Amino acid sequence: MEINDFYLRFNEKPEYLYQAPSRINLIGEHIDYNGGDVLPCAIGLYTKAYVRKRSDQSVRLYSENTKLEVTADINNLKYDKSLGWANYPLGLFYILKSKGYSINYGLDIYFSSNIPLGSGLSSSASILDLTCYIINDIYNLGLDMVSIAKISQESEIKYNGLSVGIMDEAAIALGKKDSCLLLDTHNIEYKYIKIDLGKYKFVVLNTCKPRVLTESKYNERVYECNKALEVLKPVFSIDNLCQLKITDLDKALSLIEDNNIKKRVRHVVTEEERVKSFIDALDKKDINRLGELLKESHKSLKEDYEVTGDNLDTIVDLANKVAIGARMTGAGFSGCAIALVDINRFEELKEVVLEGYKNIFGYDAEVIAIDIVDGPNGYKL
């Protein structure tokens, strides 16, 4: 995306340039809506936006990726399925205005992204955080980054109707270079943990198969966890499943009749323990232990939580031939995985994964070297 593209679309030059990263979750999968600790980080795949102020009440949006242009009145916004991706940025205008913030003129915004769509790398959270950051900056709303994450999440829930946790928005808004975010999703408390593993790096493995049934299966898992909590809450005096101690797991499972719900609880409780172990291994720079935990997490997500699928299982198995460890990241059901690899073996990993994956599925996957980066930023041109 260049300034000239904005000019050709809107017949004016842009005044600002902004960007927000993507994210991966190192470990702590599907426990953000169970009050757990998660360990995400922002990565150097970006949604970018050129922006110009308008003198009227219209907001004009254009996506270089979808080629869709939308014009809306900022005083008359409502969700419209036919507008697709544009509902994400429009929702931020709606939510912020409904909270009483002064937004009394429109904007022209030209979006582009190199985040693979439908990959589980949070392209939606990226555009939400980016739009909230843009509005906050241009209209001088005075929001801090935690508020940007919370308002972006609120917009996704209330405007777009998606029951999401806070992890994705927080990981992107609070991103810090070469650090992951230890986020307590129950209290929304966080701290940074430095990632310094020498020659070992995390890489993204993209199955290049768009996720299917993710939303319905996601809601099903939420329902199953809530049913488990109904049974266990009065017995163990807990507010969420991640407060259940690993030493109480066997007793807890004995109280649940449904075998599928037993498996969901086992994943949630053991995954919370893996997060704690992962933090300890990062601190000790215990590379082999990190790899073991990645493999254990994927196994649990495959067998107990049942959210992986053939594509993710295959790409993880291929990566583990070279990597220290690998696992799916994100919601699952295709999308992406991550691997921890000796950077000197990156090309070998790439060759093994790409060749093996294409031989099995008949189309290409992607192996992406990533950097861990800061959150949203922008400046006046």
Question: Judging by DSSP bridges, how do beta strands 58-63 and 107-113 pair with one another?
Answer: parallel
pLDDT in tens, 49-77: 999 999 999 999 999 998 999 999 999 99
CATH number where 141 lies: 3.30.230.10
pLDDT in tens, 102-125: 999 999 999 999 998 777 788 899
Structure tokens at 18: 């902004």
Is 146 within a domain? yes
pLDDT of residue 218: 81
Structural domain boundaries, residue 93: 3-194+376-380
pLDDT of residue 58: 97
Q: Give yes or no for residue 215 having a pLDDT over 90.
A: no
Is 265 within a domain? no
Is 137 within a domain? yes
pTM of the model as a whole: 0.92
Is 282 within a domain? no
Handedness of CA 249, 255, 261, 262 (dihedral sign): positive
Work out how many domains the chain is built from and give that number.
1
How many alpha carbons lie under 13 Å from residue 281 in its C-beta half-sphere?
18
Is 280 within a domain? no
Is 127 within a domain? yes
In a 3-state reduction of DSSP, which class is residue 24?
A: strand
In a 3-state reduction of DSSP, which class is residue 374?
A: coil
Neighbours of 373 (CB within 10 A): 22
Angle at CA of residue 72, ends 69 and 77, nearest 5°: 130
> Buried b / exposed e across 300-321, counting CB within 10 Å, b at 16+?
bbbebbbbbbebbbbbbebbbe
Is 82 within a domain? yes
In a 3-state reduction of DSSP, which class is residue 62?
A: strand
Average per-residue pLDDT in the chain? Answer: 94
Q: Give yes or no for residue 26 having a pLDDT over 60.
A: yes
Structure tokens at 62: 């254009």
The CA distance from 16 to 308, in Å, is: 40
pLDDT in tens, 264-290: 999 999 999 999 999 999 999 999 999
In a 3-state reduction of DSSP, which class is residue 58?
A: strand
Handedness of CA 36, 41, 46, 48 (dihedral sign): positive
Taking a C-beta distance cutoff of 8 angstroms, is the pair 159, 83 a contact?
A: no
Residue 168 bears catalytic tag: yes
pLDDT of residue 49: 97
| CA separation, residue 321 to residues 21, 203, 294, 299, 342 (Å) | 30, 15, 14, 16, 12
pLDDT of residue 211: 64
Taking a C-beta distance cutoff of 8 angstroms, is the pair 375, 356 a contact?
A: no
The CA distance from 375 to 54, in Å, is: 27
pLDDT in tens, 219-270: 899 999 999 999 999 999 999 999 999 999 999 999 999 999 999 999 999 9
4 contact partners, CB below 8 Å, separation of at least 6? none
> Stretch 24-28: mean pLDDT, rounded?
97
Q: What backbone phi and psi angles, to 5 degrees, belong to 244?
A: -70, 125
Taking a C-beta distance cutoff of 8 angstroms, is the pair 31, 167 a contact?
A: no
The CA distance from 328 to 307, in Å, is: 9
pLDDT of residue 137: 98
The CA distance from 65 to 184, in Å, is: 34
pLDDT of residue 143: 98
pLDDT in tens, 91-105: 999 999 999 999 999
The CA distance from 179 to 176, in Å, is: 6
- Label residue 30 left, alpha or beta by phi (over 0 means left) and psi (-120 to 50 means alpha): left
Residue with tokens 């583990």: 320
Percentage of the chain lying above the pLDDT 90 cut: 87
Catalytic hit among 168, 283, 310, 313: 168
Higher pLDDT, 116 or 21: 21
Percentage of the chain lying above the pLDDT 70 cut: 98
Q: What backbone phi and psi angles, to 5 degrees, belong to 38?
A: -125, 165
pLDDT in tens, 29-51: 999 999 999 999 999 999 999 99
Q: Give yes or no for residue 3 having a pLDDT over 90.
A: no
pLDDT of residue 117: 76
Q: Give yes or no for residue 212 having a pLDDT over 90.
A: no
